[in-house]
Each structure stands twice: as C-alpha cells, then as structure tokens.
Amino acid sequence: MLTSKQRAALKSMANSLDTILYIGKSGVTDNVVMQADEALLARELIKGSVQQNAPLTAKEAMDELAQATGAEPVAATGRKFVLYRPRPENPTIRI
C-alpha cells in the first residue's frame, strides 16, 4: 500500500511518461493484462488511457488492471491512469 507522499512522487514521475497502454471497447482483456504485466516488468511505472468508446472509467480500468497484475494504483485523472509495480529484482524506482 502506498502512502500519499509516495503516490504524489510517483504521479509526478509519471507526468513525463508517454501513454503506452490503451483500453478500448473490449475493456480489460487478457491481452491488455499481459501487455500491462510486461510493461510493468520492464518499466515499473506505466501510464494508460481509456478510449472514448470503452465500457470502463479510468478508475475502474486502473483498479481491474492493478488487481490482475499485482500492481499499485497510483492515480486516475480524466481518461488517463498510472500503475506502479517494483521489479522483484533490482528495482530502479526508489520511493
């Protein structure tokens, strides 16, 4: 569980990140979960976006992906969301 200061630090780090994960009209599928899992392993902090025709809000998609990947939900603003999961070995982001 992240504290509010940790969440704020991660949110500020995510400002400069490009959106790499998109949730479309099919919602959170197995393929999206796999992409998120691989991205979290490679980057630790990822930004996603919920498309306009998606059946979920950004918060719902963030919570569902966090539960499926074991990540921590950081923030959901508008259609964007941020997830964080430290690498099991050699984490690069220290909070």
pLDDT at 27: 95
Rounded CA separation 4/49 (Å): 22
Question: What is the tally of structural domains in the chain?
Answer: 1
pLDDT in tens, the chain (95 residues): 899 999 999 999 999 999 999 999 999 999 999 999 999 999 999 999 999 999 999 999 999 999 999 999 999 999 999 999 999 888 899 87
Residue 79's domain is classified under what CATH number? 3.30.110.60
Q: Which domain holds residue 43?
A: 4-84
Domain annotation covers residue 93: no
Model confidence, pTM: 0.94
Q: Is residue 91 part of a domain?
A: no
- Whether 65 is covered by a domain: the verdict is yes
- Asked if 63 contacts 73 with a C-beta cutoff of 8 angstroms, the reply is yes
In a domain, 70, yes or no: yes
